[in-house]
Structure 1
Amino acid sequence: MGIRMIVKHPDPILREKTIEVKNINKNIIKLLDDMAETMYDADGVGLAAPQVGIPKRVTVIDVGDDNGLIELINPVIVSKSGEQLGPEGCLSFPGLLGDVRRAQKCKVRALNRHGETFEIEGEDLLARALQHEIDHLNGVLFTDHVEQYYEKEE
């Protein structure tokens, strides 16, 4: 495992639409492991592969709930409901925070590291993180949705 460099805005890879993973091999497993280690080292709650310079549909999330580390390969949002407005930040935009409107709940279908399809339902922060990270895989950044910016308090 290893900590990778987090790509910062305005690097163009952050705007790329990512490529679907066709084969889960040792490189994808290493990517998942490295991304988790990188996310934890940076005190993040999510990290998408483009944020470490890899244009693949892979993301990791850990919002500190009972789900623990969630690894998502080729994730797709199946359903969304409700609405929440709240603060978001991004490891690719250090120090920047803004209010973003997202669905209150969402259900995502993805593959795990063993190639098995699973679904996860998120609410509140987990729903926000799922939507934020899947946006990254589509070249969409949280700044595209911000309604109001504010300074991060140290």
Structure 2
Amino acid sequence: MQQGIWTIASRNDFLRQRTIKAKSVTQEVLTVSQDLMDTWDTVSAYGIAGPQIGARLRIFIWKSTKGQDPEIIINPKIIRARGEVKDYDGCLSVPGIYGPTRRAEYIELSGWTQTGQPFRRGFEGFDARIIQHEVDHLEGVLFIDRIDSLDELYVMEEIPSTKKNEEPTYEERPLNPELQEFIRSRRRPIPGHALLW
């Protein structure tokens, strides 16, 4: 069933709780998997983690930048990481706000497929970044915790077109003081160099 996305606007700390590892592919795991699939088509994102739809299970859905179908991953664990890249990040649970985070350039991930088959695979580039972002959600970590400075956060503001039928353009704008204070109040800073999961 399609679910709403939980955001930091809620006073509830659910997004900050660590998730629970699945012991097998139970009916609950199947239900959450289906909810993630049903919600997938209603949002524009690279991934959605269980906590973002109100599930405490260690599970997420993601789609590779290589154009493959969305994939459910159960009990993910990053077992190896190397390199570091500071690049774009954003999140459905922190809507409309973006900023650069430091993440590993390459990771190895173990976990289960949707049918419970164990796997171990390597990911690099933006795919590795997506996976790390989703695993963070399962640990109660948001991308705003990994930014080096609140001053690096921004919103995208539409620039009005001067020509008829022209595609809109957007420009990065810093957060206004109220929004910056709101993010500061919801943030749990992690040193940018601490690539921990």
TM-score by length of 2: 0.73
> How far apart are the structure 1 equivalents of 2:62 and 2:117?
18
> How far apart are the structure 2 equivalents of 1:152 and 1:39?
23
1:73-125 CA deviation, whole Å, 9 max, x = no partner? 11100111111111111111110101001001111000112211012211111
> How far apart are the structure 2 equivalents of 1:66 and 1:12?
34
Secondary structure of residue in 1 paired with 2:95 = coil
Aligned to 1:151: 155
| Distance apart, 1:64 and its partner CA | 3.6
Aligned to 2:80: 79
Does 1:110 pair with 2:114? no
Aligned to 1:5: 4
| Letter aligned with residue 58 of structure 1 | I
- Bigger Cα Rg: 2
| Letter aligned with residue 156 of structure 2 | K
Contact 1:19 1:56 in 2 (8 A): yes
Secondary structure of residue in 1 paired with 2:41 = helix
Structure 1 portions without partners, runs of 5+? none
TM-score by length of 1: 0.92
Aligned to 1:47: 48
Higher relative contact order, structure no. (Cα contacts within 8 Å, ≥ 6 residues apart): 1
Aligned to 1:19: 20
| Distance apart, 1:153 and its partner CA | 4.4
Secondary structure of residue in 2 paired with 1:98 = strand
> How far apart are the structure 2 equivalents of 1:16 and 1:50?
8
> How far apart are the structure 1 equivalents of 2:37 and 2:106?
24
| Letter aligned with residue 152 of structure 1 | M
